[in-house]
Amino acid sequence: MKNAIPVIAIDGPSASGKGTVAALAAKELGFHYLDSGAIYRVTAYAAQTRGVDLADEAGLAELARGLDLHFDGVEVYLDGRPVGDAIRTEEAGRAASRIAALPALRAALLELQRGFRKAPGLVTDGRDMGSVVFPDATVKVFLTATAEERAQRRYKQLIEKGFDASLPALVQDLRERDARDASRASAPLHQAADAHLLDTTALTIAQAVDRVLGWYRQA
C-alpha cells in the first residue's frame, strides 16, 4: 500500500537549497531520496547525446519512458554510469527547465517518479512534488530564498567545481527560470495550499533541515 508510505515533498525555485535540505532530511530519517530535477536534467542529457531534439515533445516522452535511471544517495546513474557532473552545469539546468514545460514529457515521467515511493519513506524535491506527483504527501514544504541569495549559492557551487560563472548572469538566469517555471501551462511552480512556507534566505542548512524534520514529527 504505497499511500501508507510517508512522503516529505519539498518544492521550490531553482537553487533555493531544497535538494541539500531534502537529501539531509532523508539521511536523518533513513528514507529514500528523489531529486526530481535530476530526472529532467538526465532526460535532457540523454536527448542531447542520442540526437533527440529538445523541441520534439513526443520523442522526449518516448525517450523518458525507456530511461534506465537510478540514484545512489545523491549520485545519479544513467545506463549504469554516473552522470552527476554532466547534468549539473548551467546549460543542463536551462535545458531541463525548457523540456519540463512539455505536458507529454511530464506525463511520461510521472509514474517513474512515483515509483520511488518505497518503505520506509521518501523525501523528494522539485517543482511539483507536493502539488502534482505526491498530492497526499505527509508533509509539504515550499522552500525559497531571494534570487540574489540563490545566485550567490549557485555561484559558490560552480566555482568550487571549477566552472566559470558570472554572478549577475546567474541572477538574471534564475529570474528568467522562475518566470518560466511559474507560467508554464503544465504543473506550474506554486506553493500548494497545504504546504509550509520555508524562506531560507537567512537560515543555515542545519536550521532549514530542523524545520522540515520538526514539521514531519508533528505530522
With bands split at pLDDT 50, 70 and 90, how would you rate the model's confidence at 52? very high
Is residue 176 predicted with pLDDT exceeding 80? yes
Give me the chain's average pLDDT, please.
91
Higher-pLDDT residue of 99, 74 = 99
**CA dihedral sign, ordered 65, 18, 189, 2:** positive
214: CATH: 3.40.50.300
Structure confidence at residue 70 (pLDDT): 84
Give the residue carrying C-alpha cell 515533445. 57
Burial 106-133 (b: 16+ CB within 10 A, else e): bebbeebbeebbeeebbbbbbbbbbbbb
Is residue 1 predicted with pLDDT exceeding 60? no
Please state the domain count of the chain: 1
Q: Which long-range contacts (CB under 8 A, 24 or more apart) does 97-101 make?
A: 97/14, 97/40, 97/177, 97/180, 97/181, 98/44, 98/54, 98/180, 99/40, 99/43, 99/44, 99/47, 99/54, 99/60, 100/40, 100/127, 100/181, 100/184, 101/180, 101/184, 101/185, 101/186
Residue 4 DSSP SS3: helix
Task: Report which of 119, 103, 169, 125 is spatially closest to residue 11, judged by C-alpha positions.
Answer: 125
With bands split at pLDDT 50, 70 and 90, how would you rate the model's confidence at 2? low
- What is the domain extent for residue 143? 2-218
Structure confidence at residue 11 (pLDDT): 96
pTM of the model: 0.87
Is residue 100 predicted with pLDDT exceeding 70? yes
DSSP letters spanning 148-183: HHHHHHHHHHHHHTT----HHHHHHHHHHHHHHHHH
Name residue 48's amino acid: Q
